Amino acid sequence: MLEKFVRERVNTKGIAVMGHIVCGYPSFEANMEILEEMDKAGVDLVEMQFPFSEPIADGPLFLTANQASLDKGTKIADCFNIMKEASKRFSFKTLMMGYYNTVFKAGEVNFCERLKASGACGLIVPDLPLEEDAGLVQAAEVNNLSLIRLVAPTNTGERIQQILEHASGFVYAVARKGVTGSKTKFAEGMEEYFQTIKKYASVPVAVGFGISQRADLDYLKEQGRADIAVMGTAILKTYLESGREGLASFFKNIMG
Protein backbone atom coordinates (compact mmCIF):
# COMPACT_ATOMS: atom_id res chain seq x y z
CA MET A 1 0.00 0.00 0.00
CA LEU A 2 2.69 2.50 1.00
CA GLU A 3 4.94 1.71 -1.94
CA LYS A 4 2.04 2.11 -4.38
CA PHE A 5 1.06 5.45 -2.82
CA VAL A 6 4.61 6.80 -3.10
CA ARG A 7 5.01 5.69 -6.71
CA GLU A 8 1.73 7.36 -7.66
CA ARG A 9 2.86 10.63 -6.07
CA VAL A 10 6.24 10.45 -7.78
CA ASN A 11 4.61 9.83 -11.14
CA THR A 12 2.46 12.93 -10.61
CA LYS A 13 4.97 15.29 -8.98
CA GLY A 14 8.42 14.04 -9.88
CA ILE A 15 9.41 13.77 -6.22
CA ALA A 16 7.35 13.27 -3.06
CA VAL A 17 7.95 15.15 0.20
CA MET A 18 7.91 13.75 3.72
CA GLY A 19 7.64 16.06 6.72
CA HIS A 20 8.28 15.44 10.39
CA ILE A 21 6.88 16.45 13.76
CA VAL A 22 7.80 15.56 17.33
CA CYS A 23 4.54 14.68 19.06
CA GLY A 24 3.80 17.16 21.83
CA TYR A 25 6.42 19.75 20.87
CA PRO A 26 6.08 22.67 21.17
CA SER A 27 2.56 21.47 22.01
CA PHE A 28 -0.08 19.26 20.48
CA GLU A 29 -1.91 22.40 19.33
CA ALA A 30 1.26 23.52 17.56
CA ASN A 31 1.61 20.04 16.05
CA MET A 32 -1.82 20.43 14.47
CA GLU A 33 -0.95 23.86 13.07
CA ILE A 34 2.19 22.43 11.47
CA LEU A 35 0.26 19.46 10.09
CA GLU A 36 -2.39 21.77 8.66
CA GLU A 37 0.27 23.78 6.81
CA MET A 38 1.86 20.58 5.53
CA ASP A 39 -1.47 19.43 4.18
CA LYS A 40 -2.12 22.77 2.50
CA ALA A 41 1.33 22.66 0.91
CA GLY A 42 0.81 19.17 -0.51
CA VAL A 43 3.23 17.24 1.68
CA ASP A 44 2.78 13.55 0.87
CA LEU A 45 3.94 11.77 4.01
CA VAL A 46 4.59 12.76 7.62
CA GLU A 47 6.70 10.88 10.13
CA MET A 48 5.30 11.50 13.59
CA GLN A 49 8.04 11.07 16.15
CA PHE A 50 7.12 9.47 19.46
CA PRO A 51 9.41 11.27 21.93
CA PHE A 52 12.19 9.30 23.57
CA SER A 53 14.82 10.20 26.15
CA GLU A 54 17.84 9.15 24.07
CA PRO A 55 17.06 9.84 20.40
CA ILE A 56 20.50 8.92 19.11
CA ALA A 57 19.88 9.75 15.44
CA ASP A 58 18.63 13.26 16.18
CA GLY A 59 20.48 16.57 16.24
CA PRO A 60 20.32 19.35 18.88
CA LEU A 61 16.91 20.76 17.93
CA PHE A 62 15.14 17.41 18.02
CA LEU A 63 17.02 16.39 21.16
CA THR A 64 15.54 19.46 22.82
CA ALA A 65 12.12 18.76 21.33
CA ASN A 66 12.06 15.16 22.54
CA GLN A 67 13.05 16.06 26.08
CA ALA A 68 10.69 19.03 26.27
CA SER A 69 7.79 16.88 25.12
CA LEU A 70 8.58 14.24 27.72
CA ASP A 71 8.96 16.90 30.43
CA LYS A 72 5.44 18.07 29.61
CA GLY A 73 4.16 14.57 30.28
CA THR A 74 3.58 13.29 26.74
CA LYS A 75 2.50 9.66 26.79
CA ILE A 76 2.44 7.06 24.03
CA ALA A 77 -1.37 7.20 24.04
CA ASP A 78 -1.21 10.93 23.25
CA CYS A 79 0.95 10.17 20.22
CA PHE A 80 -1.45 7.55 18.93
CA ASN A 81 -4.33 10.00 19.43
CA ILE A 82 -2.81 12.79 17.35
CA MET A 83 -1.80 10.28 14.68
CA LYS A 84 -5.38 9.04 14.51
CA GLU A 85 -6.71 12.58 14.22
CA ALA A 86 -4.18 13.50 11.54
CA SER A 87 -4.89 10.33 9.55
CA LYS A 88 -8.59 11.21 9.49
CA ARG A 89 -8.23 14.92 8.72
CA PHE A 90 -5.43 15.14 6.19
CA SER A 91 -4.57 13.70 2.80
CA PHE A 92 -0.97 12.75 3.58
CA LYS A 93 0.02 9.32 4.89
CA THR A 94 1.37 9.01 8.43
CA LEU A 95 4.24 6.93 9.76
CA MET A 96 5.54 6.47 13.27
CA MET A 97 9.17 7.41 13.80
CA GLY A 98 10.81 6.48 17.07
CA TYR A 99 13.17 4.23 18.94
CA TYR A 100 12.90 0.55 19.65
CA ASN A 101 12.57 0.79 23.42
CA THR A 102 9.20 2.49 22.93
CA VAL A 103 8.03 -0.39 20.76
CA PHE A 104 9.55 -3.04 23.02
CA LYS A 105 7.95 -1.65 26.16
CA ALA A 106 4.51 -1.64 24.56
CA GLY A 107 5.06 -5.04 22.90
CA GLU A 108 5.65 -5.38 19.17
CA VAL A 109 2.26 -6.89 18.36
CA ASN A 110 0.32 -4.47 20.55
CA PHE A 111 2.27 -1.50 19.21
CA CYS A 112 1.61 -2.39 15.57
CA GLU A 113 -2.06 -3.05 16.26
CA ARG A 114 -2.35 0.42 17.80
CA LEU A 115 -0.50 1.96 14.87
CA LYS A 116 -2.90 0.35 12.42
CA ALA A 117 -5.89 1.54 14.47
CA SER A 118 -4.41 5.05 14.40
CA GLY A 119 -4.23 5.09 10.60
CA ALA A 120 -0.47 4.72 10.16
CA CYS A 121 0.97 2.98 7.10
CA GLY A 122 4.45 2.29 8.43
CA LEU A 123 7.12 2.86 11.05
CA ILE A 124 10.74 4.00 11.13
CA VAL A 125 12.91 2.64 13.95
CA PRO A 126 16.48 3.83 13.34
CA ASP A 127 18.16 1.98 16.22
CA LEU A 128 16.83 -1.49 15.34
CA PRO A 129 19.32 -3.45 13.17
CA LEU A 130 18.26 -5.79 10.40
CA GLU A 131 19.50 -8.83 12.29
CA GLU A 132 17.13 -8.18 15.21
CA ASP A 133 13.93 -6.96 13.55
CA ALA A 134 12.23 -10.24 12.53
CA GLY A 135 9.59 -10.02 15.26
CA LEU A 136 8.68 -6.45 14.45
CA VAL A 137 8.59 -7.22 10.73
CA GLN A 138 6.08 -9.99 11.35
CA ALA A 139 3.93 -7.80 13.61
CA ALA A 140 4.03 -5.00 11.04
CA GLU A 141 3.13 -7.22 8.09
CA VAL A 142 0.12 -8.71 9.90
CA ASN A 143 -1.15 -5.15 10.38
CA ASN A 144 -0.40 -4.03 6.80
CA LEU A 145 2.43 -1.75 7.94
CA SER A 146 5.81 -1.23 6.31
CA LEU A 147 8.91 -1.30 8.50
CA ILE A 148 11.16 1.25 6.81
CA ARG A 149 14.84 0.28 6.61
CA LEU A 150 17.65 2.84 6.71
CA VAL A 151 20.94 2.94 4.84
CA ALA A 152 23.84 5.34 5.38
CA PRO A 153 26.98 6.53 3.58
CA THR A 154 29.04 4.48 6.04
CA ASN A 155 27.45 1.24 4.80
CA THR A 156 29.40 -0.88 2.34
CA GLY A 157 27.80 -1.77 -0.97
CA GLU A 158 27.38 -5.31 0.34
CA ARG A 159 25.56 -4.07 3.45
CA ILE A 160 23.32 -1.78 1.41
CA GLN A 161 22.39 -4.70 -0.82
CA GLN A 162 21.66 -6.85 2.24
CA ILE A 163 19.39 -4.19 3.81
CA LEU A 164 17.56 -3.49 0.57
CA GLU A 165 16.76 -7.17 0.05
CA HIS A 166 14.42 -6.80 3.03
CA ALA A 167 13.03 -3.31 2.26
CA SER A 168 9.31 -2.57 2.13
CA GLY A 169 7.36 0.64 1.50
CA PHE A 170 10.47 2.66 0.77
CA VAL A 171 14.05 2.84 1.99
CA TYR A 172 15.32 5.83 3.99
CA ALA A 173 18.77 6.89 2.80
CA VAL A 174 20.65 9.07 5.27
CA ALA A 175 22.29 11.86 3.27
CA ARG A 176 25.45 12.17 5.36
CA LYS A 177 27.30 10.94 8.42
CA GLY A 178 26.14 12.19 11.81
CA VAL A 179 22.75 13.27 13.14
CA THR A 180 19.83 15.29 11.82
CA GLY A 181 19.74 19.05 11.56
CA SER A 182 22.97 20.19 9.92
CA LYS A 183 22.93 21.48 6.36
CA THR A 184 23.78 18.71 3.94
CA LYS A 185 26.24 19.37 1.15
CA PHE A 186 25.94 16.80 -1.58
CA ALA A 187 29.68 16.42 -2.00
CA GLU A 188 31.82 14.12 -4.09
CA GLY A 189 31.21 10.51 -3.26
CA MET A 190 27.47 10.94 -2.87
CA GLU A 191 26.80 10.05 -6.51
CA GLU A 192 28.33 6.62 -5.98
CA TYR A 193 26.26 6.21 -2.82
CA PHE A 194 23.00 7.09 -4.59
CA GLN A 195 23.86 4.89 -7.55
CA THR A 196 24.53 1.94 -5.23
CA ILE A 197 21.17 2.41 -3.54
CA LYS A 198 19.33 2.68 -6.86
CA LYS A 199 21.15 -0.41 -8.14
CA TYR A 200 19.73 -2.60 -5.40
CA ALA A 201 16.49 -0.84 -4.44
CA SER A 202 13.22 -2.40 -5.56
CA VAL A 203 11.26 0.17 -3.54
CA PRO A 204 11.22 4.00 -3.68
CA VAL A 205 14.14 5.85 -2.10
CA ALA A 206 13.74 8.62 0.48
CA VAL A 207 16.65 10.91 1.30
CA GLY A 208 16.83 12.89 4.54
CA PHE A 209 19.12 14.63 7.06
CA GLY A 210 19.67 18.32 6.35
CA ILE A 211 17.25 18.87 3.44
CA SER A 212 16.24 22.53 3.76
CA GLN A 213 15.95 24.34 0.43
CA ARG A 214 14.57 24.13 -3.08
CA ALA A 215 18.01 23.35 -4.51
CA ASP A 216 18.13 20.19 -2.40
CA LEU A 217 14.84 18.97 -3.84
CA ASP A 218 15.97 19.82 -7.37
CA TYR A 219 19.22 17.93 -6.88
CA LEU A 220 17.44 14.83 -5.57
CA LYS A 221 14.86 14.99 -8.35
CA GLU A 222 17.52 15.24 -11.08
CA GLN A 223 18.35 11.91 -12.66
CA GLY A 224 15.97 10.22 -10.24
CA ARG A 225 18.42 10.27 -7.34
CA ALA A 226 15.52 10.03 -4.89
CA ASP A 227 11.77 9.54 -4.89
CA ILE A 228 11.10 11.25 -1.53
CA ALA A 229 12.77 14.28 0.04
CA VAL A 230 12.56 14.27 3.84
CA MET A 231 12.43 17.53 5.78
CA GLY A 232 12.33 17.77 9.55
CA THR A 233 14.61 20.26 11.28
CA ALA A 234 13.99 22.99 8.69
CA ILE A 235 10.23 22.71 9.23
CA LEU A 236 10.40 22.89 13.02
CA LYS A 237 13.00 25.66 13.03
CA THR A 238 10.90 27.76 10.67
CA TYR A 239 7.77 27.28 12.78
CA LEU A 240 9.57 28.18 16.01
CA GLU A 241 11.05 31.31 14.46
CA SER A 242 8.12 32.63 12.43
CA GLY A 243 4.96 30.64 13.21
CA ARG A 244 2.56 29.14 10.74
CA GLU A 245 2.73 32.14 8.38
CA GLY A 246 6.45 31.68 8.07
CA LEU A 247 5.96 27.96 7.59
CA ALA A 248 3.46 28.57 4.81
CA SER A 249 6.05 30.78 3.05
CA PHE A 250 8.72 28.15 3.59
CA PHE A 251 6.65 25.48 1.90
CA LYS A 252 5.71 27.83 -0.95
CA ASN A 253 9.35 28.60 -1.61
CA ILE A 254 10.58 25.03 -1.41
CA MET A 255 7.66 23.22 -3.06
CA GLY A 256 5.90 25.86 -5.12
Active site members: 47, 58
Element (H, E) at 61: helix 60-71
| Cβ atoms 48, 94 nearer than 8 A | yes
Instruction: Residue 13: name the closest of 174, 246, 229 by CA.
Output: 229
Facing residues of 123 across strands? 96, 147
DSSP designation for 130 = G
Under DSSP, the state recorded for 232 is -
Give the start-end residues of each E strand in the chain. 16-22, 45-49, 93-97, 122-124, 146-151, 171-174, 205-208, 228-230
Give the closest residue to 212 by CA, choosing from 197, 187, 193, 230. Answer: 230
Task: Report the alpha-carbon distance of residue 230 to residue 128 in Å, rounded.
Answer: 20
Q: Rounded to an integer, what distance in angstroms lies between the CA atom of residue 229 and that of residue 237?
A: 17
